[in-house]
Structure 1
Amino acid sequence: MNQRRFELLCAALLGFGQLSIMTGFDSESFILESVIHSIHERAPERISQYAGYYGQAVIYAFYMVACMFSPSIIAVSTPKINLVTAAIFFTAFPLGFLFTNSYYYYFSSALLGIGFALFYQGQGGYLTSHSTRKTIESNVSISWSVGCCCMILGSAILAGITKLSAEDTKHLMEALNTTSESHKMERRFSDTEINLLFTAFTGISVIGIITFFVMPSRDVENCIESSSEKKETFMGALKLTCSTIVNSKMVQLIPLFSLCGLNTSFWLSVFPTAMSFTKQNSHLIYLPAIYSFAVGSGEVIMGIAISFLSKRIKNFGQKPTMTIGAVCVLIYCALIHFSTAFDAPMKPTQDEPILFHHSYLLAFTIGFICGIGDCCINSVRSVICALAMPKRRPQAFSVSKVFQALASCILFFLSPITPLFVYTIGLPVLSIIATILFFSISNRTQVMERKMTEGSRNAAEIGKKLAL
């Protein structure tokens, strides 16, 4: 096998491993609070009714702390070890829903947070050790496209199991209703549906462990950064990460990093919970599946579009992409604001929305726009971290994740008492602020790149003259 085919194989396997572990996490996030609400109603002693929100807050709290140390861990280990360990931690989380227990639930949430940090550092390290300067963009695009199919696969699992357990769910809803109007009862999950869903999520996460374990680990020739050559010590990498946090460029990008965390947490968990808590939606049992499919489709299509247009339009992956992402946030927040009751994220509700009710078409439209916006915002975050601080790429990326995780952690702790309009008004305002500051950093970065290019060109011309 020639080197290019070997690189493509490694990128595809990395993407498939990501697909496997993220399918469960993303799909769980869509329904987590609703599932736990259903378990709590049948057995209050097993788990708190808002453990879905609090558990995700724990995930992001440990993710935030682990991001501080992940560059140091990768400095003394290997990307493959990080990836396998992360996959094990991802698998431990859905496993706990087969015997729901508060202690194990929060413990596995903490492991999952650490797993997030290990995975993203391992992913970056694996790509740079299995790519050259000429192939890195293509390899990243392949890995991203395969990995982003996780929500499409998750939607198929959600739809299939919902159909298989539809009879049990119907009986549960009928038993819980105290009136003849079944639409007044919010969406509930039966024990059968919960067991089937989380067995499937656990199984596909195990496939992720196997995939990461069998992936080739040898570096390619002329790779960007070898995984076997350790240039820093654990403490040296930690000090570098701490100094990066207070760098002026990183401080100016905090609104962008916070937007990444708040935006993703909102569309991934808060809004799906609001749809499930809306009692008029009780008969729309396939909402999570359709919404998940739409988000995944938006992510994949936009990822391909960015890769295609970046080759034809200079710097398309910076200001144009950020503008598209901000506009998408404005649009989907407006749609959610007018179609969702303000107390829906906090508790089951019968309140009427401002203009119109949810439907499968509306859920698909909102999800598709969310996917496009999320892809754009996360893409520009990765680009600016790589370009703004070229000598501290791992540290810059980890710092961005620290602020992203902090924002998500705060959001989930406050979710049980936060009405919808705080999100639908706050996110657009934050996206505008983040866009303005991002444009400033992007302009400075492009000026820096031009100076570096001119300096290299001048040095080459002087070298030629001296040689003559």
Structure 2
Amino acid sequence: MSEKSGSWISRMSPRGFELLCVVMLGFGHLCIMTGCDSQAFILESVIHSIHERDPGRINSHAGYYGQATCYLAFVITCLVSPSILYATSAKTTLFIASVCFTSFPLGFLYTNQYYYFFSAALNGVGFALYYTGNGGYLTSHSTRNTIESNVSISWAIGSSCMIVGAGIIALITYLTAGQAPATMDILNSTLNSTVSAQHFERRFSDMEIYLLFSVFALISFIGNVTFLLMPSSDIDNCIESSQKTVAFRDGIHLMYRAFRSPKMFILIPMFMLTGVHTSFWVSIYPTTLTFNSHLAKMIYLPAIYSLGVGLGETIMGMLISFCSKRIPNFGMRPTMFIGCFLTIMYCGLIVISTPASSPMAPTSEKPLLFQPTRLLVFVIALIGGMSDCCLCSVRSVICAINMPNRRDQAFSVSKFYQSIGTCVVFFISPFLNIYYYTIGIPILCVIASFCFFFETRRIKRMEKTMTNMELDQAEQRKKSSKYETLDEEF
């Protein structure tokens, strides 16, 4: 640690300083993702509500298309984000990314189709910069022995954003849906009906939208401040120093080499799985809850779902961190297996309780077996959050150790393929029923698991070889030192 970091920080133990950095990184993640993830749960439904009141303002499926635009910008920015990291620093990259995130919810204070798609693209730029900066910051503030634990701690704190988002959605729904009479009397003149008189799909009033996105923008601004205040000095024996000596042009060349690497090719199914799964749990399944006319009176379902996902992410993050300290390489194969198993379970519960056409448009169609209840939605969300935490944690760990000389590029390549999967799914979502997701994702899980297990076997052999070489070198140094001592005695 550098003395310029501050006297109280310099007096901290190395592990204490690591935890401070990881916790602040996780808290910044929590702030900027509170709006990003929580608004994604309801975005298609919010846009649909705005379109119904004013068809000329915005397209009815702009929720899906806006997120597709976001991930398209994400794909493009991933190609240059490591070079931007080299030109600045992990801390600066994280701050720029957080500003991009803040621009999106501000657009809902007065919805305009042009600004909406522009800010969605800017949000995609923020995603690419954030995850590159996040990987760079973690590797410069973690050792090989602590990376699995640090990734899980940071992810668990950051994923609490869904719990915070659940509280925000529940409170504002309570204030704007007539459950608080005194407040309702004050706001009544400015509100549209949150649930239509005919009990069609769940609808969002103008006031509800305004309040929700104002709070999301405010919390995102707190994330901007957090990233500005984070320590920037590296720890001793970190995986990779933040002091980069690579020129922008050389960074582009390294990115090209990372794309060509067989180590990345074999992990493409895993990266694609993360992207397709993300689009499903973040937006498509939550949209089915608000498009299902039989659930129109359950106005707190988005909050319940957000709470379940947040708890699932946090619990699994803590569990992975706990087990990683006690079981060698728990953050690799065991976590991948658990993540795929939970993902398949998640899809199974959804397919039997969700109307087939509900991802595409409001419907009164009945599901395969039974309608979801509040408890079932919470359980599905809990499992979905746990599975996402496993998949994202595994991706971060494998990228940190798979390409020692091109770690920043490895993170960007993984997000490139992930965002392609997410982008494609959002573009075609208006035309896919629920069975495409609940059958396709489990198949992708099986393929991704085989590829991941093959690559981790190669990494294990590589690390064993490096360990043996280090032991041999240590033995040679020991013998050399012994001979030098004997020479001095004679």
Normalised to the residue count of structure 2, the TM-score between the two structures is 0.91
The number of aligned residues is 462
Change in Cα spacing, 1:464 to 1:71, as seen in structure 2 (3 Å) is same
Q: SS state of the match for residue 390, structure 1?
A: coil
- TM alignment of 1:137-216, pairs within 5 A: 137-167=148-178, 172-173=192-193, 176-177=196-197, 182-183=198-199, 185-216=200-231
Partner residue of 1:254?
268
Contact 2:195 2:296 in 1 (8 A): no
Shift of 1:437: 1.2
Q: Which amino acid aligns with 1:453?
A: T
Q: Does 1:23 align with 2:23?
A: no
Q: SS state of the match for residue 361, structure 1?
A: helix
Q: Which amino acid aligns with 2:87?
A: V
Partner residue of 1:449?
463
Shift of 1:8: 3.1
Q: Does 1:295 align with 2:306?
A: no
Shift of 1:7: 3.6
Which of residues 409, 429, 432 in structure 2 aligns to 1:415?
429
- TM alignment of 1:21-420, pairs within 5 A: 21-132=32-143, 136-167=147-178, 172-173=192-193, 176-177=196-197, 182-183=198-199, 185-221=200-236, 223-227=238-242, 229-420=243-434
Shift of 1:136: 4.6
Deviations 1:280-299 (A, max 9, x none): 01011000111111111111
Contact 2:194 2:202 in 1 (8 A): no
Deviations 1:250-271 (A, max 9, x none): 1111110000000011011000
Q: SS state of the match for residue 83, structure 2?
A: helix
Shift of 1:220: 4.3
Q: Which amino acid aligns with 1:204?
A: I
Contact 2:109 2:213 in 1 (8 A): yes
Normalised to the residue count of structure 1, the TM-score between the two structures is 0.95
Q: Which has the larger radius of gyration?
A: 2
Partners of 2:271 and 2:203 in 1: how far apart?
Answer: 35
Shift of 1:125: 2.3
Deviations 1:16-55 (A, max 9, x none): 1111100000000000000000000000111000000000
Q: Which amino acid aligns with 1:215?
A: M
Q: SS state of the match for residue 397, structure 2?
A: helix
Partners of 1:271 and 1:430 in 2: how far apart?
Answer: 18
Contact 2:135 2:411 in 1 (8 A): no
More off after superposition, 310-319 vs 194-203: 310-319
Shift of 1:466: 2.5
Q: Which amino acid aligns with 1:450?
A: K
Q: SS state of the match for residue 311, structure 1?
A: helix
- TM alignment of 1:435-446, pairs within 5 A: 435-446=449-460
Partners of 1:25 and 1:175 in 2: how far apart?
Answer: 24
Gaps of 5+ in 1: none
Change in Cα spacing, 1:159 to 1:111, as seen in structure 2 (3 Å) is same
Q: Which amino acid aligns with 1:3?
A: M
Q: SS state of the match for residue 55, structure 2?
A: coil
More off after superposition, 120-129 vs 103-112: 120-129
Shift of 1:221: 5.0
Shift of 1:393: 1.2
Partner residue of 1:3?
12
Shift of 1:62: 0.6
Partners of 1:117 and 1:175 in 2: how far apart?
Answer: 37
Partner residue of 2:486?
none
Shift of 1:156: 0.4
More off after superposition, 137-146 vs 310-319: 137-146
Gaps of 5+ in 2: 1-7, 179-183, 483-490
Contact 1:145 1:304 in 2 (8 A): yes
Change in Cα spacing, 1:215 to 1:372, as seen in structure 2 (3 Å) is same
Partners of 1:27 and 1:100 in 2: how far apart?
Answer: 18
Contact 2:149 2:320 in 1 (8 A): no
Contact 1:3 1:220 in 2 (8 A): no
Change in Cα spacing, 1:138 to 1:419, as seen in structure 2 (3 Å) is closer
Shift of 1:423: 0.3
Partners of 1:204 and 1:438 in 2: how far apart?
Answer: 37
More off after superposition, 43-52 vs 5-14: 5-14
Q: Which amino acid aligns with 2:113?
A: S
Shift of 1:442: 1.2
Q: Which amino acid aligns with 1:335?
A: L
Deviations 1:353-406 (A, max 9, x none): 010101110110100000111111111112222222222211111100000000
Deviations 1:281-320 (A, max 9, x none): 1011000111111111111111111111122222221111
Q: SS state of the match for residue 442, structure 1?
A: helix
Change in Cα spacing, 1:222 to 1:244, as seen in structure 2 (3 Å) is closer
Partners of 2:238 and 2:115 in 1: how far apart?
Answer: 41
Partner residue of 2:181?
none
CA RMSD in angstroms, aligned pairs only: 1.8
